Structure 1
């Protein structure tokens, strides 16, 4: 199999690869957030983790803070505003409570109408996320669930992506993995259907870009229908330039391109791959996060690449987990967050 195509400057602005100016900006970012009560420095001596980051018991790890800085091109004022808005939203939405208590008994019924699922990893170790928008019928969907529960599920799956999947993938590949590889299948989608799901797409895109920034690594739109350019021109204005550059739009001849980045064994047979999970790939949650030995190793660390110590009293962690030692056992994901055609999904 051909090797994956490397991203140019993929590590710039990330843990272990900061310019002196970026390192100074991160320091100032922490200081200003601390003044306003949204960041707490660690009290223990700093030590290097296996990924090159410093683990001090701070309320938020460097990888998380850098996601917000990169999202606003290291503009301190804009990054701080984005981060604080996210923290306030997390508290209002009760994100941590949802992560710990959310149940989704309608999963199987929803999957038949709108398959959204994680399935193994790409060649760089990113969790592979697949969404089949062509099957979505909102009228049928809201007979088996509600818009509120769909949004809650979306948030919970972003949290599981960050708290459970990424640490395990990072452990397995011995490097910091911060992003996903997404496939959006538009098989069977017509232009009229896009307009029907417009509000849902906008809501999911807003949530992902504002509260879970810099989590998209690769994004493939496959089976793009005739006249898809009309829809794409409508969607693009919502997205920043960096996000747009990560998206590849492919027609039905997508297999060769996908296999440059994704092993055939990770692709479901329904997408021209080789995998046939018992009970269907969309319900299997197959991936290294189901390997008990890898999960145990990830949780044996005092802190992990995307983990942080418990947040200070007035601020909840901005889409980061408690230390692996404090995390509950990794649950089988019930569904996956919906990139909704272009949102950040739950990139290394």
Structure 2
């Protein structure tokens, strides 16, 4: 399929980063058919008729349509369900208002963080499940606050992380590269880990569709492959193809995807951030050349909202931007 400019709606589409996907996959920005463009318009019109005014930009609607194989009615149902959850959870307010001072203590038991980029320019997201001790963590924080932190980071993935990565890569990046370390997770603890993985997967698939680029499960214990075959039943086949289950000898395959200088030393890379990689939040979103103030930062206090899930900056011509990529 020939590459083309993203058909945009001036009311909702205000991007200051590239809007053409790097790979020519059907239904992805810059690689849509006239019928798919019409489906975006149809979905937006249906949602407007029901009173929705936020997150109706083309990139967002395309993600929901792809997640539902371009069935407009199913995509609409998914979008409406997501908006209901966002309102009940208070999602729009979290990036600007949620504070997590207990993070360093929580991370002693359950590190989960974004750190630099892979070779495709995607943000890297890392989780270490082996140290999870729920009893110890609940003396420091609550399950509700942990979930709020998870959602806050999903929102920050959409803005500012992905836009900054897209600017630096010169192509649209909409997904992330996830590394989930299972070191220390024994077969006996799999059920509790399974419960978390399923919950996190449901949040990701239902409310943040089309955000997974690559997923590496490393240090997988004996028997995990059998367990994963069960988990596959809850995942879309397209998602399953992105998942790589690796044992202790994962370094070569991981370094094929992640530059050594961007991968923490403990995983076979050479990165040693001052103060530790887990708390550094290093990446293009911290670099002045690529970073921009996120839209939610312009809102104040509890009234903070994210409009259209895009940065909302001065609109620029998409063709003049080509010159990007991609949560959990």
Same-fold call, TM > 0.5?
yes
Q: What corresponds to 2:146 in structure 1?
A: 150
Q: What corresponds to 1:27 in structure 2?
A: 41
Q: What corresponds to 2:120 in structure 1?
A: 124
Mapped partners of 1:259, 1:60: distance in 2: 37
Q: Is this contact kept in 1: 2:56–2:308, CA < 8 A?
A: no
Q: What corresponds to 2:197 in structure 1?
A: 201
Secondary structure of 1:162's match? helix
C-alpha distance 8-167 of structure 1, shift in aligned 2 (>3 A):
closer
Provide the alpha-carbon RMSD of the alignment: 2.4
C-alpha distance 324-114 of structure 1, shift in aligned 2 (>3 A):
farther
Q: Is this contact kept in 2: 1:60–1:317, CA < 8 A?
A: no
Q: Is this contact kept in 1: 2:128–2:180, CA < 8 A?
A: yes
C-alpha distance 242-162 of structure 1, shift in aligned 2 (>3 A):
same
Which residues of structure 2 form unaligned runs of 5+? 1-20, 300-304, 315-325
Q: Is this contact kept in 2: 1:118–1:128, CA < 8 A?
A: yes
Q: What corresponds to 2:244 in structure 1?
A: 248
1:36 to 50, 54, 79: 50
1:107 to 103, 114, 117: 103
Mapped partners of 1:179, 1:139: distance in 2: 33
Mapped partners of 2:210, 2:151: distance in 1: 16
How many angstroms does 1:107 deviate by? 0.5
1:214 correspondence with 2:210: yes
Q: What corresponds to 1:323 in structure 2?
A: 312
Q: What corresponds to 2:319 in structure 1?
A: none
Mapped partners of 1:120, 1:201: distance in 2: 23
C-alpha distance 10-223 of structure 1, shift in aligned 2 (>3 A):
farther
Question: How is 1:297-316 mapped onto 2 (pairs within 5 angstroms)?
Answer: 298-299=292-293
Q: What corresponds to 1:17 in structure 2?
A: 31
Given the two structures, how large is their TM-score scaled by the length of structure 2? Answer: 0.83
Which residues of structure 1 form unaligned runs of 5+? 1-6, 41-58, 311-315, 326-343
Q: Is this contact kept in 1: 2:160–2:311, CA < 8 A?
A: no
How many angstroms does 1:8 deviate by? 11
C-alpha distance 165-149 of structure 1, shift in aligned 2 (>3 A):
same
Q: Is this contact kept in 2: 1:87–1:318, CA < 8 A?
A: no
How many angstroms does 1:81 deviate by? 0.1
Mapped partners of 1:29, 1:76: distance in 2: 6
Mapped partners of 2:239, 2:252: distance in 1: 23
Q: Is this contact kept in 2: 1:134–1:188, CA < 8 A?
A: yes
1:159 correspondence with 2:148: no
How many angstroms does 1:253 deviate by? 1.3
- Count residues in correspondence: 291
1:236 correspondence with 2:225: no
Mapped partners of 2:159, 2:77: distance in 1: 24
